[in-house]
Structure 1
């Protein structure tokens, strides 16, 4: 007997599908914006800029990166730094416009801190 999707998976798919619809409508079937995807756990937070057309990751950062030297990766300060780092790496890859994919999480706390850090470092969404 096959199991259904979890509520987290349903929220993630619903959010991603809405982003896809908006992106296609905005671009008029042209090259779409990359997506800034966020994943959070109890101990860390991860962000990556993904080009869905080509299916490649353009830039990524996490609270586990040696570059950040964080003691606690599960708080808002760490999330803010991860947002800044992923934005810097995305700008090096030539990306300035992205779509923010909250991944089914509420836009609050650490997820919002990633977005604020990315905006502060120069990404537009």
Structure 2
């Protein structure tokens, strides 16, 4: 029986996350989630088990509510970089989950890098 899309996605997400944990111990994790209508990102401290900063297209002050294009991803990336600086975070590792690193995910990462976050 062939694997379903969801099963393959979950396997890819766990593979990416486990490899990143081995290499980036002690650093914060910049976790990205993309749904059919929105994109969100969290800066997570895995040791303390808390979210340090977050940004999403659901926030009205970003002006991209309900959009999920490259422009919206760029604004979310810029917002998370600003919020990370305000929280005193300068570097994190980028956890793309099971999503491929191109298009919206790449635009978000590039905007966060341009905003001063080392990922």
> Alignment RMSD, CA only?
1.2
1:23 CA drift (Å)? 1.4
Corresponding position of 2:116: 122
| Aligned residue number for residue 90 of structure 2 | 96
Structure 1 residue 46, shift from structure 2 partner: 0.5
Partner SS, residue 102 of structure 2: coil
Per the TM alignment, residue 14 of structure 1 is displaced from its structure 2 partner at its CA by 0.8
Structure 1 stretches of 5 or more lacking a match? 25-31
1:13-32 equivalences under 5 Å are 13-24=14-25, 32=26
Residue segments in structure 2 that go unaligned for 5+ positions in a row: 1-5
Runs ≥4 residues deviating over 4 A:
none
Q: In the TM superposition, what is the alpha-carbon distance from 1:54 to its structure 2 partner?
A: 0.7
TM-score by length of 2: 0.91
The number of residues matched between the two structures is 114
Q: How far does residue 72 in structure 1 lie from its aligned partner after superposition?
A: 5.0
1:12 positional shift: 0.8
Q: State how far apart, in whole Å, the 2-side matches of 1:63 and 1:71 are.
A: 5
**Match for residue 67 of structure 2 among 70, 73, 77:** 73
The reply on whether 1:62 has 2:63 as its aligned counterpart is no
**Please, what TM-score do these two structures have when normalized by structure 1?**
0.87
